[in-house]
Structure 1
């Protein structure tokens, strides 16, 4: 490598290293999803279906293995080909929120939203089954993925943006999640709405809630090193 290219490459490498170090939760989560996606992509059709159903947080699994199913379901995506899209979303949304709020507050926000949205959406499925609006086979529906956590992080990211960008972002966010909810909503759309609402309700956990009206909240203040970031029947995710 020529000297003229060595310095920019070194700066880029340092930037990437600092970015990953300041957002460990996001990148560990993304690494695990990458591994599970490779497992799904290389599995036979029978094994794939077994894994998707066994790791789902559906009614059957919640009754049989409540805690493991809630945890494990957040580390799988149904379509391995979507991994690159999720990688981009993790960098844009999760990494920025984790770096801004700090890892523990970020984890509390997305973890609570994932659990609450999963339980509430599956309760909706159970009520629909009991009301004969859905078949009993829906107790085994594939319900895996990371979109509930993403919806919560996208919600709390609203407070990271300065006005007037904040308001335009919020309108777009409400439209993105609200239109499916208002037009033939599935249980997943219902879960997304809950997760988004929880993210928006996490204002007290953000640095913006701990500064004065005239100040700009640009980083984390809890000492974990996360400061301002650098210049249909299935749950489909």
Structure 2
């Protein structure tokens, strides 16, 4: 698409966007194809982060569950956001021009995968991890991140919900080796970039707020007395 130039790129993005116009025209194939299309020119620079995120999930749960999580996050968040936009347009809260907005990329599915990694973390770290990511997503939405930010928040919630089922799927004896910790670190950095985007003001507020929420959750967890086992 980069080689074909801006005109061809804009045409492809318009055809495969999961916006209200295309969905209303019955182009349901966009629900899948949009994950493989991007409006950014230098997408390959982000591939290392995506690879680390997906590789860690695949190591933990194998390819079938990874694909299921990605599809549920991508398609589920897309449909929920589309329904919300349709209602907002119907009641006059959002201009009808939004129905033609570009909406492509794999970020919804990737953020859902990020949320499911909660299941693989040790129990004492889960509250901090969850509180931090939810705070970052909420701050970006409040600061006016648009429907894409709302979609990321929805995908994160879907991933967190799926993590409750995936806890039993973590292999017995699975350990957090150095290589897995590196994958998690790079994948989490990629997820943070997806959530805050390139908007510096949002990042300057969302990242510290998320870190603070994670610390508060960790302190609360540490201060909670544990029941003794019988």
- The aligned runs of 1:163-182 (5 Å cut-off) are 163-182=123-142
Instruction: Give the superposition deviation at 1:44.
Output: 2.9
Conservation of the 8 A alpha-carbon contact between 2:73 and 2:155: yes
Q: Are 1:201 and 2:161 counterparts? A: yes
TM-score using structure 1 length: 0.68
Q: CA distance change for structure 1 residues 128 and 196 in 2, over 3 Å: closer, same or farther?
A: same
1-structure distance, mates of 2:170, 2:45: 36
Q: Equivalent residue for 1:161?
A: 121
Give the Cα–Cα distance (whole angstroms) in 2 for the partners of residues 178 and 216 of structure 1.
Answer: 35
Aligned to 1:102, what secondary structure does the other structure show? helix
| Aligned equivalent of 1:139, options 99, 104, 112 | 99
User: Does the residue aligned with 2:42 lie in a helix, a strand or coil?
Assistant: helix
Are residue 123 (structure 1) and residue 108 (structure 2) matched? no
**Alignment size in residue pairs:** 182
CA contact (8 A) 1:100 1:229 kept: no
> Which of these two proteins has the greater Rg computed from alpha carbons?
1
Q: Does 1:61 align with 2:22?
A: yes
Equivalent-residue separation in structure 1 for 2:80 and 2:87 (angstroms): 11
TM-aligned CA distance change 1:135 to 1:230, over 3 Å: closer
After superposition, where does 1:7-26 map in structure 2 within 5 Å? none
Q: Does 1:71 align with 2:39?
A: no
Residue 224 (structure 2) aligns with: none
Q: What residue number does 2:226 align with?
A: none
Distance (Å, rounded) in 2 between the aligned partners of 1:80 and 1:67: 25
List alignment gaps of at least 5 residues for structure 2. Answer: 183-196, 199-230
After TM superposition, give the deviation of residue 81 of structure 1 in Å.
1.4
Output the aligned Cα RMSD: 2.7
Aligned to 2:185: none
Deviations 1:83-123 (A, max 9, x none): 312x1221221110122111111111110111110011112
Q: 1:210 to 1:56 in 2, by over 3 A?
A: closer
CA distance in 2, matches of 1:169, 1:216: 22
Distance of aligned partners of 1:201 and 1:217 in 2 relative to their CA distance in 1, 3 Å threshold = farther
- Equivalence for 1:52: 13
- Give me the whole-angstrom Cα distance separating, in 2, the residues matched to 1:134 and 1:95: 38
